């Protein structure tokens, strides 16, 4: 990463079909993906509430990551192979986020499935809370987690965004919408 200030957080943005997306990166990796936003100030206002570190635009340092996100939002299956920084999550959250990355592109799982997979079968609601606090959507694909009845439930960026992401992934993957149907 090109950096003048190793303690800073750098950010960049791209326009997506659902609004502006902002990606932020520190010395450890991408630490925040936030969308949809109307303006850069919208993103910065939300980010500064949580960041005690200097943040500055640096499009060059996020060139690779933005290219991967651009490909994803233009309808390509992408392997996000750059470092991620989830160190602000609790141990439970990081366990959930790691398991979410196992959900294949163009497929969905239930909150109960995630809870069972991480060895906490009674923690469906806690999984939902971890999803809500996911700092790296769609890289950590919390949008692929829906209700056990196939209905869309909860998404920090709104159900319209969740539905768009799922329908686009199902379309690109050439999969029929099955039990976990984002159109319900």
Match 């957080």 to its residue by tokens.
Answer: 9
Catalytically active residues, by annotation: 142
The pLDDT assigned to 1 comes to 42
User: In the chain, which stretches have pLDDT less than 50?
Assistant: 1-3, 183-184
Angle (CA) 146 165 32, round 5°:
90
* 145 phi/psi in degrees, rounded to 5: -105, 120
* Separation between Cα atoms, residue 101 and residue 139, nearest integer Å: 8
Please enumerate in sequence order all residues whose Cβ is within 8 A of that of 178, keeping only pairs 6 or more positions apart, or say none: none
Q: Express each pLDDT in 90-100 by its tens digit.
A: 999 999 999 99
The pLDDT assigned to 149 comes to 86
The encoded tokens of residue 97 equal 């986020």
């Amino acid at each position: 990463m090109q950096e003048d200030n190793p303690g800073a957080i750098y950010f960049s943005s791209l326009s997506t079909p659902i609004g502006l997306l902002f990606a932020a990166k520190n010395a450890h990796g991408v630490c925040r993906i936030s969308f949809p936003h109307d303006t850069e100030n919208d993103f910065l206002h939300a980010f500064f509430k949580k960041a005690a570190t200097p943040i500055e635009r640096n499009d060059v340092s996020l060139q690779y990551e933005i290219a991967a996100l651009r490909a994803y939002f233009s309808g390509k299956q992408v392997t996000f192979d750059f470092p991620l920084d989830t160190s602000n999550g609790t141990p439970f959250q990081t366990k959930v986020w790691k398991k979410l990355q196992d959900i294949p592109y163009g497929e969905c799982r239930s909150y109960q499935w995630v809870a069972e997979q991480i060895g906490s079968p009674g923690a469906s609601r806690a999984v939902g809370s971890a999803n809500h606090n996911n700092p790296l959507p769609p890289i950590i694909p919390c949008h692929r987690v829906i209700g056990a009845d196939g209905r869309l439930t909860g998404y920090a960026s709104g159900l319209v965004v969740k539905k768009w992401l799922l329908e686009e992934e199902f379309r690109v993957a050439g999969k029929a919408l099955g039990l976990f149907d984002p159109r319900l």
